Structure 1
């Protein structure tokens, strides 16, 4: 059993997928990038900040898992869109290009923070203005980094990926499993033996 320092239903589903028992304990941290901070450093810092916030406020001494997913293009961090105009601008930038999705995970176990980072290259097909407008109207991009979700309708825009599908969704399962194993914690596969 661990504490998941997140309100994300996608992260909950991914932990369920690998047979990890969890208890949600959403946290609120300032997600403002620091001046000159790289997208990878930002993702790692946010994952650790969420894990520490959960660790310090959780009602039980269980291990705490925090994660953060960043969409990066040309060195810029594309966060959650502020509004329709912002989403259209992001999708327009992603159209017909490859971008990077960095998904960091932090696990605090016995007062020590263990971290891992997944890097995935995602290639979008060319998007028409109608594609982008219809996608915005679906409501899906409003709370997604980069204004899209690969696990939903946004999959129609993804020509291919190189890396971790689960990392693009929001929790890189390979890296998460490695951290659990390193800390002596069990996942679903460990329960099969």
Structure 2
């Protein structure tokens, strides 16, 4: 315990010493990428698409439609931030469950984007973020499927085309999923594991 306390003290002291230098470096980085608090561009977009789970989860489910709405901030030409909601209906394809059942996925995600604006119109980007979903299995799938919370780590890539204040785009998002207790692998007591891949088109505006 004494060693742990000493280590915590050293870390705290190091953070205190490094904080001013880090603040200066962060400011310099911000200037280099063109961050300007007075020229932050904001907007809203809506998206529709398709996708589903991979791995063992994909074996027991199908491809489902999604809808999303997202608030966007673009502090510079290179850096963007998104926060939004995504709803998705994933059909259940499991021999242990009667047909017509599905999982409703309610998700909230914060995503940081990085990419240049080319020719003032094209905006290719990659993104990395953190999300949380509540999976609500339809009552007809019980007790095989359960309601579940899952953490998600989205990695996105896409391109937007801008025309004035309006834009349209396409993207694919691969989400690493954690905490899966939605359903077990048939014939075992093991939780079915997998990731999530969605593709969508996006329409929106910047103001």
TM-score range, shorter chain: 0.3 to 0.5
Relative to its length, the structure with more helix (as a share) is 1
Taking structure 1 as the reference length, what is the TM-score of the superposition? 0.36
Larger Rg: 2
Taking structure 2 as the reference length, what is the TM-score of the superposition? 0.34
Relative to its length, the structure with more strand (as a share) is 2
